[in-house]
Amino acid sequence: MAPLSSLVPQFPQVGARMLAPLPLGPLSLLLGRAARGMATRHPGLFTRLGAHSEKRFLIDPTDLPFSFLVRPQAARPRIEAVGALVSPTWDCRIAGPLAALIGMVHGAYDGDALFFSRDIVIEGDTEAALALRNALDDAEIDLFEEAAESLGAPGRTAGRQLRPLARAASQFTGVALTRAEDLL
Amino acid sequence: MNGPALELVCPAGTPAALRAAVDAGAHTVYCGFADETNARNFPGLNFSRDEMAAGAAYAHRAGSKLLVAINTFPRAGAEAIWHHAVADARAAGADAVILADLGLLAYAAEHQPGLRRHLSVQAAAANADAIMFYAETFGVKRVVLPRVLSVEEIAAINRDIDVETEVFVFGGLCVMAEGRCSLSSYATGRSPNMNGACSPASHVVYTEEQGELVSRLGNFTIHKVPKDAPAPYPTLCKGCFSAGGQTGHVFEDPISLDAAELIPRLAKAGVTALKIEGRQRSRAYVSAVVKSFRRATDAIAAGRPVPVSELAHLTEGQSSTLGAYRKAWR
C-alpha cells in the first residue's frame, strides 16, 4: 500500500492557542453578514444544494480551537463560530486542517484527494457533504473577496489594496488565501 | 517519431470545471445533465439546460468540442426523459452525444440524424463485431472502449473496424463489464445503470471506529482502513472482505488508472482519443490532470517522450496502475 502523503500546511499551534480565549460572538456576527452576502452573490449555490440547504454542516478546522456551524438555508443563511467545548447538533461534519478546508473552497485542493490522503474526514450525511462540496466548487467563491464585501465600501477598498499582500502570503505559507485561479 | 494527433477528452461535472478543462487545454469536454440520464448523477453535480448551452459556447469559443453523456439506460415508461435529453443536447450546441442504450441509439439516429453519436463505455462493446453492429445499425462514429482490454486487443479491434476508438487513460478504474454490473444495485437498491450513480452517496456512511475509517454501503461494511493508510472510494468492487479465513481485495485494489506512459503505444494501436475519468471531481483535479495530459499529447505530437506524471496525490489509493492495458489478470 502506498504511503500516506499530505500537501496541506497546519495552522501554527502558537497561533491557535492565542485564538482560544477570543470571544466568538463578534466573529459569528461577521460570519453571518458574510454568509448573507455570499448567498446574494452566489444564488447558484442553493440550486446545487437543493434540499440539503436546510441541513446543518459542522465545518471543523482541526487545528483551530473552534469550528463553524453552517446553515445555508436560502431565506436566512447563517454561519456561527462554536467553541471546542460546545457540541452542536449537525447533519454532516467535515473536519480537517484550516488550510485544507479553505483550499477546497478556493479550488486549490480536490476534495476527493484530501479524503484519500485522510487530510479531511466526513461524518454523517455523505450526500449533503457531496452536494456542499460540488456547490462550493462551482461557485468559485473567493473568501478574501467575500470578507471584504461584507464590510461594505471601506472593506472593498481595503480588499483591493490588501489583495497583493494576500497573494504574497499565499505563496509564502502555501495556504490558498484567495481563489486558486487568482494565484496563477 | 511524430505520432498522430491524439484528442484529449476531459471531464466536467460543473460549469466551473468545464471552464477549468478548456482553459487547461482540453480538446474536448464531456458533461451530463443534472438528472438520471447520465452515469454521474451525484448531488450538486451536472448541468442545467442553460448551463449546457453556455458551456458549449465557452468550449467552442476556445476551439474545443463539447460532448453530452446520456449514457444510462431508460426506464420503461420514462423513455421521454432520455429522448428530451438527446434533443436538448442538440439544442445546447453539443458536438456529439455519448449513448449506451440500443433504443436510445435508434431514437437518436432517427430523430436527430445530424447529431454525431458516440458509443458509451456503458455499452461494453469489447470486440470488432459488436462495434461494427453499432456503427452499421445506428451510425455510431466513435466507441469508448471498456477498461478490460489490453493494448494488443485494442490494436486488433482497430484493425477490424472503421470507426474511431477512445480509451481511458486516467482516473477511477472500473474493472467490471460496465453497464451490466449490479453490485451497487444489490447493496443499495439503486442501479448505477438506470439511476446514474454507483455507490450513491445517500447510501454511504463513514465513521471513525477505534482509529480506523469504516466505510459502509447500505448494510455492507466494505472497508476498515487503518489510521495511516489512504482512504478508498466506497465501491464494492474495490472492497476489502474477509472470507474463508482470508482478508483482501476480492476484485481489485483501490487504486486509479494512469496510462500516461502507454500513450505512444495506444497511438500506434490506432486509438483516436484519450479519455480522462472524473466528472465527480473538482475543478482543481480537472485543471491539474488536463494540463498534465495535454503536455503528454503535445510531447508525442512533437516526437518527444511523455513527461513523467506527477498526479499520484490525486489518485484513489494515492497510487496508480496500468490496469488491463498491461494485463496480469482476467
Quick one: pLDDT at residue A84? 85
pLDDT in tens, A130-167: 999 999 999 999 999 999 998 889 999 999 999 999 99
Q: In the structure, what pLDDT confidence band is assigned to residue A1 with cuts at 50, 70 and 90? A: very low
* Judgement on whether residues B20 and B104 belong to the same structural domain of the protein: yes
Average pLDDT over every residue of B306-312? 83
- Residue A122: list chain B partners with CB under 8 A: 206
Predicted model pTM: 0.94
Query: How many domains does one find in chain B?
Result: 2
A153 burial via Cβ count (<10 Å: 0-12, 13-18, 19+):
exposed
* Judgement on whether residues B58 and B121 belong to the same structural domain of the protein: yes
Residue A2 has pLDDT above 60, yes or no: no
* Judgement on whether residues B106 and B222 belong to the same structural domain of the protein: no
Residue A85 has pLDDT above 90, yes or no: no
* Judgement on whether residues B69 and B124 belong to the same structural domain of the protein: yes
Closest chain B residue to A128, measured at CA? B43
Q: What is the CATH number of the domain that holds A119?
A: 3.30.1050.10
pLDDT in tens, B134-191: 999 999 999 999 988 999 999 999 999 999 999 999 998 887 888 888 889 999 999 8
Q: Show the 3-state SS of B39-78.
A: CCCCCCCCECHHHHHHHHHHHHHCCCEEEEEECCCCCCCC
- Residue B227: list chain A partners with CB under 8 A: 118
> Is residue B97 situated within a structural domain?
yes
Answer whether B17 sits within 8 Å of A138, measured CB to CB: yes
Q: Quote the CA–CA distance of B255 and A39 in Å, as a whole number.
A: 38
- Residue B283: list chain A partners with CB under 8 A: 107, 137, 140
Average pLDDT over every residue of B130-134? 98
- For B295, other C-beta atoms within 10 Å of its C-beta total 16
Answer whether B230 sits within 8 Å of A4, measured CB to CB: yes
* Judgement on whether residues B264 and B195 belong to the same structural domain of the protein: no
Answer whether A2 sits within 8 Å of B318, measured CB to CB: yes
> Is residue A38 situated within a structural domain?
yes
- Residue B202: list chain A partners with CB under 8 A: 126-127
Higher pLDDT, B17 or B241: B17
- Residue A95: list chain B partners with CB under 8 A: none
| Residue in B227, B231, B280 closest to A116 by CB | B231
Average pLDDT over every residue of B61-68? 98
Residue B122 has pLDDT above 90, yes or no: yes
Answer whether B281 sits within 8 Å of A110, measured CB to CB: yes
> Is residue A23 situated within a structural domain?
yes
Q: Which secondary-structure segment (H or E) carries A144?
A: helix A143-150
Closest C-alpha among B242, B250, B263 to residue B306 = B263
A-interface mutation test, from B318, B319, B320, most A Cβ less than 10 A away: B318
Which of B226, B249, B272 finishes a domain? B249
Answer whether A138 sits within 8 Å of B16, measured CB to CB: yes
Grid coordinates of B173 = 478504474
Q: Within an 8 Å CB–CB cutoff, is residue A91 touching chain B? A: no
- B→A interface, C-beta within 8 Å: 13-17, 20, 42-45, 48, 200-202, 204-208, 213, 227-233, 255, 280-285, 287-288, 312-319
> Is residue A40 situated within a structural domain?
yes
> Is residue A160 situated within a structural domain?
no
Quick one: pLDDT at residue A177? 92
| Residue in A117, A127, A137 closest to B16 by CB | A137
> Is residue B182 situated within a structural domain?
no
- Percent of chain B at pLDDT exceeding 70: 98
Of A19-23, A56-60, B16-20, which gets the smallest average pLDDT? A19-23
* Judgement on whether residues B211 and B119 belong to the same structural domain of the protein: no
Average model confidence (pLDDT) for chain B? 92
| Residue in A118, A123, A138 closest to B14 by CB | A138
> Is residue B183 situated within a structural domain?
no
Residue B89 has pLDDT above 50, yes or no: yes
Closest chain A residue to B311, measured at CA? A113
End-to-end CA distance of chain A: 34
Quick one: pLDDT at residue A69? 97
A with B: how many residue pairs have Cβ under 8 Å apart?
A: 125
> Is residue A99 situated within a structural domain?
yes
- Percent of chain B at pLDDT exceeding 90: 69
Residue B93 has pLDDT above 90, yes or no: yes
* Judgement on whether residues B154 and B287 belong to the same structural domain of the protein: yes
* Judgement on whether residues B117 and B48 belong to the same structural domain of the protein: yes
> Is residue A127 situated within a structural domain?
yes
Average pLDDT over every residue of B67-86? 97
Average pLDDT over every residue of B27-54? 97
Average pLDDT over every residue of B262-268? 94
Q: What is the CATH number of the domain that holds B64?
A: 3.20.20.70
Quick one: pLDDT at residue A109? 95
* Full domain range(s) for residue B309: 7-173+255-326
- Residue B314: list chain A partners with CB under 8 A: 110, 112-113
Quick one: pLDDT at residue B3? 47
pLDDT in tens, B237-256: 888 888 888 888 888 788 88
> Is residue A152 situated within a structural domain?
no
Contacts of A183 (CB under 8 A, 6+ apart): A108, A167, A170, A171, A176
* Judgement on whether residues B242 and B259 belong to the same structural domain of the protein: no
pLDDT in tens, B189-219: 998 999 989 999 999 999 988 889 999 999 9
Q: In the structure, what pLDDT confidence band is assigned to residue A5 with cuts at 50, 70 and 90? A: low
> Is residue B245 situated within a structural domain?
yes
Higher pLDDT, B306 or B144: B144
* Full domain range(s) for residue A40: 13-140
- Residue B215: list chain A partners with CB under 8 A: none
Quick one: pLDDT at residue B251? 80
Query: How many domains does one find in chain A?
Result: 1
Quick one: pLDDT at residue B1? 43
Place of cell 487504486: B255
* Judgement on whether residues B265 and B160 belong to the same structural domain of the protein: yes
Q: Cβ distance B161 to B135 under 8 Å?
A: yes
> Is residue A163 situated within a structural domain?
no
* Judgement on whether residues B229 and B299 belong to the same structural domain of the protein: no
Average pLDDT over every residue of A1-28? 83
* Judgement on whether residues B203 and B54 belong to the same structural domain of the protein: no
